[in-house]
Amino acid sequence: MIGLVIVSHSAKLAAGVHELAAQMAGCQVAIGQAGGLSDGGETLGTDASRVLSAIDEVWCEDGVLLLMDLGSAVMSAELALEMLPENRRRNCLLSNAPLVEGAIVAALHASLGEPLQAVNAVAEAALAAPKLDRAG
Amino acid sequence: MSNNARSPLPGDRAAHPQTPRQPSKCVVVTVSDPRGLHLRSGRDVVRIASRFQARITAANLSRNSGAVDLKSILQLMQLQARQGHSLRLAAFGPDADAAIEALCSLF
């Protein structure tokens, strides 16, 4: 079963998304979080070494999917992957999914035992899923 | 295609032209939860639906919505189903009956 890492500028946002995702996954999926800077997340920002630690925490051979908010969160996640040994980097994937919807979908589908690429595909489908029905 | 309204997988027909129409089952359920169909109850619906091979859809009759994939939590949330809304569940595939039976109790 794959692991997930939530990367956000805000430690509180990361914790909140983690809480939502954990409820969808029902304790079956390892979900790490990396929110805020290296001062324990007190300051808004993202930090590659915190992302790296979060990956290490949830690491498993099935892979780890990283969900980011935006901007430097993406860059910190990329940096963290560069810091990983090659054999682990191969099994990590940055998701293009929106953070909240992506984490909810990814957690649920990870808990169903789906593989890394499949979980990412359903999470990224959230990009095209409107919240409001404006068809009428 | 006019006689094919209930066949959800036209691609399958092309791939297996000799295969007769797949079993299908359709029911209407009423949302009983005072909070409507929310994330957690939606999660349980997706979990159960995912155990079946059948393609399963749901449409919110109370909102005249189109049918969405019951195995997708985001599409389920798009139904915006409140308490009292009528949802039409439809399953297509070899285990369609069992899928509908298992899902009915969740609403």
With CB atoms and an 8 Å threshold, state whether A125 touches B63. Answer: no
- Residues in contact with B98: Cβ distance below 8 Å, sequence separation at least 6, in sequence order: B52
**Domain with B65 in it: what CATH number?**
3.30.1340.10
Spatial distance between the Cα atoms of A109 and A119, rounded to a whole number of angstroms: 6
- For all residues of chain B together, what is the average pLDDT? 86
| Predicted ipTM of the assembly | 0.86
Strand arrangement of the beta sheet that strand B68-69 belongs to: B24-30, B86-92, B55-60, B68-69
What pLDDT score does B81 carry? 97
Report if residue B15 sits inside a domain: no
Give the mutation candidate from B73, B79, B82 for the A interface (greatest A CB count, under 10 A): B73
Greater model confidence, B69 or B14:
B69
Measured between beta carbons, which residues in chain A are less than 8 angstroms from residue B40? 23
Give the mutation candidate from A104, A114, A127, A134 for the B interface (greatest B CB count, under 10 A): A104
Query: Hey, is the C-beta of B48 within 8 angstroms of any chain A C-beta?
Result: no
Report if residue B60 sits inside a domain: yes
The full set of domain ranges for chain A reads: 3-128
CA distance B40 to chain A (A): 7
Range of the domain at B38: 21-104
Is pLDDT of B15 > 50? Answer: no
Report if residue B10 sits inside a domain: no
Q: Exposed e or buried b for every residue in B59-80, given b needs 16+ CB within 10 A?
A: bbebbebebbebbbbbbbbbbb
Catalytic residue numbers of A, as ranges: 9
Measured between beta carbons, which residues in chain A are less than 8 angstroms from residue B39? 20, 23-24, 104
What pLDDT score does B4 carry? 40
Consecutive H or E run containing B86: strand B86-92
* pLDDT string in tens for chain A (136-residue length): 999 999 999 999 999 999 999 999 988 899 999 999 999 999 999 999 999 999 999 999 999 999 999 999 999 999 999 999 999 999 999 999 999 999 999 999 999 999 999 999 999 999 998 888 765 4
Report if residue B79 sits inside a domain: yes
Report if residue B88 sits inside a domain: yes
Give the mutation candidate from B74, B75, B76, B79 for the A interface (greatest A CB count, under 10 A): B74
- State which fold the A3-128 domain adopts: Rossmann fold (3.40.50)
What pLDDT score does A131 carry? 84
Spatial distance between the Cα atoms of B22 and B8, rounded to a whole number of angstroms: 9
Of A104, A130, A131, the CB nearest to B73: A104
- Confidence tier at B20 by pLDDT (50, 70, 90): low
Model confidence pLDDT, tens digit, residues B39-82: 999 999 999 999 999 999 999 999 999 999 999 999 999 999 99
Spatial distance between the Cα atoms of B26 and B28, rounded to a whole number of angstroms: 7
What pLDDT score does A135 carry? 56
With CB atoms and an 8 Å threshold, state whether B39 touches A24. Answer: yes
Is pLDDT of B10 > 80? Answer: no
What pLDDT score does B18 carry? 52
CA distance A105 to chain B (A): 7
Of A101, A112, A133, the CB nearest to B74: A101
